[in-house]
Amino acid sequence: MTKKMSIAVASDHAGFELKNLLAEEARNLGCEVIDLGTDGPDSVDYPDFGQALAEAVASGRVERGVAVCGTGVGISIAVNRRAGVRAALCHNDTTARLAREHNDANVLALGARLVGVEVAKDCLRTFLSTEFAGGRHALRVAKLG
């Protein structure tokens, strides 16, 4: 990355540990990180944290986001309810790369119970370093708005 990117991270209780590890990794990569919670392993509702993350991205407070829950499905649904936010549930660095290149995804969603820490870090690095390809993909992404 050539400039300092701002990202927000959010999770439910199942994603709490992985969210913290990914926030640390993002800081190590030179990102400014805003942690929107949760702040512990006690049971919480993922839609609340997904909504906070979606608002941070949609408002321009941050450039990108990382959302984590047990499977990544619930929080990605919650995030995608906000216009202007495109969360992609990724399982490896290939899906993370294509989510950026083809879909201009601005939120990486991960399932803490489904992907290991190193795979999640690979997804994060790829997601943060990959640019949107534009071209024919831009027309398709525009239809999502």
| Residue range 21-72, pLDDT digits in tens | 999 999 999 999 999 999 999 999 999 999 999 999 999 999 999 999 999 9
Please provide residue 110's backbone torsions phi and psi, each rounded to the nearest 5 degrees.
-135, 150
CA angle 85, 86, 92 (to 5 degrees): 145
DSSP string, 33-74: EEE----SSS---HHHHHHHHHHHHHTTSSSEEEEEESSSHH
Q: Is 91 helix (H, G, I), strand (E, B) or coil?
A: coil
Domains of the chain: 6-144 (3.40.1400.10)
The reported pLDDT for the residue numbered 117 is 98
Per-residue pLDDT tens over the stretch 96-123: 999 999 999 999 999 999 999 999 999 9
Q: Select which of 69, 91, 123, 137 is catalytic.
A: 69
Tell me if residue 91 is catalytic: no
Q: Over 90: is that where the pLDDT of 2 sits?
A: no
How far, in Å, CA of 32 to CA of 114, rounded?
27
Which residues lie closer than 8 Å to 41 by C-beta, 6 or more apart?
Answer: 13, 16, 17
- Average pLDDT over every residue of 84-103: 98
Tell me if residue 102 is catalytic: yes
Q: What is the distance of C-alpha 91 from the center of its chain? A: 12
How far, in Å, CA of 145 to CA of 25, rounded?
31
